[in-house]
């Protein structure tokens, strides 16, 4: 799934994107750590579940290391004007400034 498409869908549902982190490099390291929990996972869910889980973890590790897949963490807020994007500006609506005259470009 493309990040741009996901973001446009979120924005059309009136979510405001506050931050996007690309976690792909860190994801493979996290997966390696999850594999170390084999005994706990097998004890709780059984060996069949662990083998399925191990396949998922191995495949996910490979594709994240290759760069074939990316993992994004997106922080959102609901309602576009409910939260300020810039400190000192209460909402998007208050960011518009009325000018008495057109600004002059100084070169």
Dump pLDDT digits (tens) for 80-104: 565 555 665 555 555 555 656 666 6
DSSP string for residues in 28-82:
HHHHHHHHTTHHHHHHHH-HHHHHHHHHHHHHHHHHHHHTSS--EEEEEEESTTS
Q: What phi, psi does 63 have (nearest 5°)?
A: -70, -30
Q: Residue 72: which of 13, 14, 5 has the closest Cα?
A: 5
Instruction: Tell me the pairing of strands 15-22 and 72-78.
Output: antiparallel
Confidence (pTM)? 0.50
Place 105 in a pLDDT band, splitting at 50, 70 and 90.
low
């Amino acid at each position: 799934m493309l990040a741009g498409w996901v973001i446009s869908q979120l924005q059309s549902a009136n979510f405001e994107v506050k931050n996007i982190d690309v976690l792909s490099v860190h994801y493979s390291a996290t997966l390696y750590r999850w594999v170390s929990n084999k005994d706990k996972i097998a004890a709780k869910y059984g060996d069949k579940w662990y083998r399925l889980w191990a396949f998922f973890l191995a495949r996910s590790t490979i594709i994240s290391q290759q760069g074939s897949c990316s993992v994004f963490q997106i922080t959102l807020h609901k309602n576009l004007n409910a939260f300020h994007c810039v400190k000192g500006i209460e909402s998007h609506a208050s960011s518009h400034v009325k000018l008495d005259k057109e600004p002059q470009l100084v070169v």
